[in-house]
Amino acid sequence: MRRLDGLGFGDGATPGGRRSLAPLVVLPLGLPLALAAWAAVAARIDDRAIVPAPLAVAASARAHADQLLYHGAATLQAVLLGFALGFGLALLLGFGISRSRLAERALMPYLVASQAVPVIAIAPLLMLALPDLALKVTVAALTVFFPMLINTVVGLKSVTTEQHDLMRLMSASRWQRLRFLELPAALPVLLAGLRVGITLSVIGAVVGEFVQPRRGLGVLILQSRGVYNQALTFAALLGLITLALALYGCAALLERLLLEGR
């Protein structure tokens, strides 16, 4: 099993197995270059109501640090709860589909068809029945559910017939087959999906905040745009980016720890 770097943005290994210095060079240089490009675009446009300069955004972030933390905590709560709900449901249904060809044939067409309906289209309907946090959690869970379901089914189906036969010869129970064979075999696929799912959960939570704007970084974006405070809007956007990167890094680190030495 290949090794991942600490944040999961690339393994940093050459084909010969030697560690590459490219990530160590590219990552530190990427941020200054991005900031320089941003500053150049802001200077070119010369309209802070459209693209504020990086220093203006930093000043706004400092001035509104309390708001950013307050709304950021609300978004983080919705993201984690939504991901846990979506991931849990995907695991349960994925296990059933992977074990039953009939369930797969009966359910998968409807599950695939449901993906043609944008979550943003049904979010206003959910708003009629769900309060603030429940709405955000539900939208985040819906965003995460299908990708994690597919990963779960693919991972559990990666076990070969020979491996199943061996477990039967050992008189393993269904629980033992799941614990010692199917889940370990599915773990790499599930952990890869974890990185995708946790970032999708951020998108889902923000969609919920746009639909029912009470608390969260999405709400702060709407409020700041409403008063033409683009510096605060960009600060909130950077807060979302930072949150997504941090969660992605945590998922990648968990993947590395669990798959170390496999």
The label of the residue with tokens 């959690």 reads 137
- 236 contacts 68 by C-beta, under 8 angstroms: yes
Q: What is the mean pLDDT of residues 42-66?
A: 88
pLDDT surpassing 90 at residue 12: no
Domain ranges, ordered by start, for the chain: 64-259
> Rounded distance, CA 10 to CA 24, Å?
11
pLDDT of residue 26: 65
For the domain covering 64-259, report its CATH number: 1.10.3720.10
Measure the N-to-C terminal CA separation of the chain; round to a whole number of Å: 6
pTM: 0.81
> Rounded distance, CA 45 to CA 142, Å?
39
Paired tokens of 48: 């802070």
pLDDT surpassing 80 at residue 20: no
Rg of the chain taking only CA atoms, in angstroms: 22
Q: What is the mean pLDDT of residues 173-178?
A: 75
Paired tokens of 138: 């539900």
* HSE-up (13 A, CA, CB side) for residue 234: 21
Least trusted range by pLDDT, from 42-56, 123-137, 156-170 = 156-170
DSSP label of 13:
B
90 pairs with which residues across the strands? none
